[in-house]
Amino acid sequence: MAKIALFPGSFDPMTNGHLDTVQRASQLFDKVIVAVMTNTAKKPLFSSDERVALIEAATADLPNVSVVAQAGKLTVDFAHEMDAKFIIRGLRNANDLAYEADIARVNAVLDQSIETVFLLADPAYLSVSSSMIKEVATFGGDVSALVPPAVVQALKQRLGGNHEA
Ligand code: ADP
């Protein structure tokens, strides 16, 4: 049976940290589905369709990766629908671990057949978060080393700013 993994997140927008996690997951699983989820606690800069398009552009060279938008459903229910037995999450630090471990335990109670797999963030992207990227881009900082090229363009269009490239 094909090993299918769901990588859920806000991805507002995708960063190189997220992309690195997707690339590594694509080596581990037969198929990786990146799911752009609606996080009720966060007000997004990009619509879910925009976020999907940005992730599709960044993962176009990964044939076993697909991208979907998903709102209003439990992650485990959606994983079930997609035949995904694994949920991927990235860990940057101990705060991420505490937060992610709680979610993974709740998901395990909700559906025992789904395993959450954690991938440690690449040290190069330990401090990279979508919110940090938006903050820097708002004030015209150059984020081109930290996000995929399509995201650089999208941030420029959305936020303006006076940074190059
Ligand atoms: P959420 O709102 O669901 O936390 P995010 O888009 O912020 O969505 O993050 C999605 C996943 O990617 C989370 O597991 C998060 O810990 C992980 N992640 C965020 N930034 C990085 C990074 N720089 N490197 C690796 N993983 C990351």
Give per-residue pLDDT as tens, 22-41. Answer: 999 999 999 999 999 987 77
117 lines ligand 1 (CB under 6 A): no
Question: With contact defined as beta carbons under 8 Å apart, do 130 and 13 qualify?
Answer: yes
CA–CA separation, 38 and 83 (whole Å): 20
Q: If you take atom 4 of ligand 1, which residue's CA is the nearest one?
A: 9
Q: Whose CA is nearest to atom 16 of ligand 1?
A: 90
Task: Specify the ligand 1 atom closest to the Cα of 37.
Answer: 3
Measure Cα distances from 161 to 34, 136, 144, 149 in Å. Answer: 29, 10, 13, 16
| Residue reference for tokens 């949920």 | 87
Task: Collect all residues with Cβ–Cβ distance below 8 Å to 158 and sequence separation of at least 6.
Answer: 45, 46
In contact, 104 and 89? CB cutoff 8 Å: yes
Q: To the nearest 10°, the Cα dihedral for 61, 125, 132, 53?
A: 10
Per-residue pLDDT tens digits of the chain, which is 165 residues long: 899 999 999 999 999 999 999 999 999 999 999 999 987 777 899 999 999 999 999 999 999 999 999 988 999 999 999 999 999 999 999 999 999 999 999 999 999 999 999 999 999 999 999 999 999 999 999 999 999 999 999 999 999 755 444
Of 14, 38, 89, 143, best ligand 1 pocket probe by most atoms within 8 Å of the beta carbon: 89
With a pLDDT cut of 90, the percent of the chain lying above it is 90
Instruction: Check if 42 is active-site.
Output: yes
